[in-house]
Amino acid sequence: MRLKPLVPLILKQCPGASTSVSGWVQSCRKMKNVAFIDINDGSSIQSLNVVTTPDKVAGIQTGACVKIDGKLVESSGKQKLELQAENISIYGNVGSDYPLQKKYHSSEFLRTLPHLRWKTRHNAQILRTRSWMLSRLSQFFDSRRMVQVNTPVLTSSDCEGAGEVFELSKGPEFFGKNAYLTVSSQLHLEAYAAALNRVWTLTPAFRAEASDTNRHLSEFWLVEAELAFIDREQLIGVCIDMIHSIIPSAEIAQGLLDAKRSDEERAELETRWDWLGRDWPVISYTEALDLVNAESDLRPLKWGENIPSLHEKFIAGEIMKAPTVITDYPLSLKPFYMSKSSETTADCFDILLPEIGEIVGGSMRESDYDTLLKNIKASGMSLESIEWYLDLRKHGSFPHGGYGLGLERMIMYACGLDNIRDAVGFVRHFKNLPC
């Protein structure tokens, strides 16, 4: 079935063509003998300029949903074409309490309107960018013959072993055991990789962290990949190539730039994209500590402690001035499933972005049964809940590794946002579950 053309295609038609457009009124300006409407159908950042008479727009307010039939004519304004309205039908007007008007609304204010904030120009472009990124990710993995799989949201174990999980109250009654919302699909991905070689998934993840910061969500989306017969250097290369594939470009990049309010904001966004195109230095955890302790006034770090977010941003943004890969973290900081790169370090890596910090965590997985069993016992995890995962090492165990990308953090960076709560449709975070 052929669908009606959307605004971007309408603007490519010839003057004199009859057409119709349905969408939402961005602004309505009435003068003595003429009226102007800007209408957006949601398909792009472009709105269509409509010229009509004041009587045809009587009662129409910003935010109303309308259908306009008319003829395209040449325009002396920014657009080459405008629509000369012949008939305007109102699908739905707005109430007197409609909170969005043709003016700037702060991100803080818009977050109080989770069901309406996507009607604004900038926020709508964020959602279109998110959709574009998901399409590009699928193309990237398809080009490498990686199989997309679906992993469970309900699990019987805590993949990370950190205990920051949401537990189902009816788990024991319904399943006969404790049940949790997943924090990562990694363990199940490893089972798929044991059969399919290279796999990936896009899955919601849930973490019960009591963190009220600009980079934490309780519900978020993870892009996770698991690859057989690969080493860490190759794994890092795949991950970097994946990120390069979702740097905004062409129409989606122009839409993001057009949505910014000032030349300064546009320049800052282009700088972020430029950083992604630079060479990505690879340094060890030990080297990272030495650098940040020597070159910053931040709190000195001791070997064996996590690198705080502030230090991560300084390393990538001020010292390296580029996305930075940090490898070989202390074993004591990492989960049971990671293999060793030395007696004291894990065969792992994190990717840090300037202004954001960590967006990717990855590692080689422990493939030896006895070593993995020892790690599980040392972590204090329930062996019963993880026995199926351990069983994979009995039957055709293989060298493999994988990583997870926090989608919202990537969107936050690529769209020039300063708060992760603006990178996801309906936000769930500590003490906040609006609708």
One-letter amino acid at 373 equals L
Fold exhibited by the domain 7-103: OB fold (Dihydrolipoamide Acetyltransferase, E2P) (2.40.50)
User: Do the domains spanning 7-103 and 117-422 agree at the CATH topology level?
Assistant: no
pLDDT at 158: 67
What type of residue sits at position 1? M
In the prediction, which pLDDT does 101 show?
85
Indicate the CATH number for domain 117-422.
Answer: 3.30.930.10
Q: What tens digit of pLDDT does each residue of 152-195 get?
A: 999 987 666 556 899 999 999 999 998 999 999 999 999 999 99
pLDDT of residue 209: 87
So where are the chain's domains? 7-103, 117-422
The pLDDT tens digits for 51-73 are 999 999 988 999 999 999 999 99
Chunked mean pLDDT (size 10), the chain, 435 residues? 92 94 94 94 96 92 96 89 95 93 88 93 96 98 98 83 82 92 96 98 94 88 98 98 96 95 95 93 98 94 96 96 98 96 98 96 98 93 89 96 98 96 92 85
Q: Residue type at 383?
A: L
Question: Would you state the pLDDT for residue 163?
Answer: 62
Model's pTM, two decimal places? 0.93
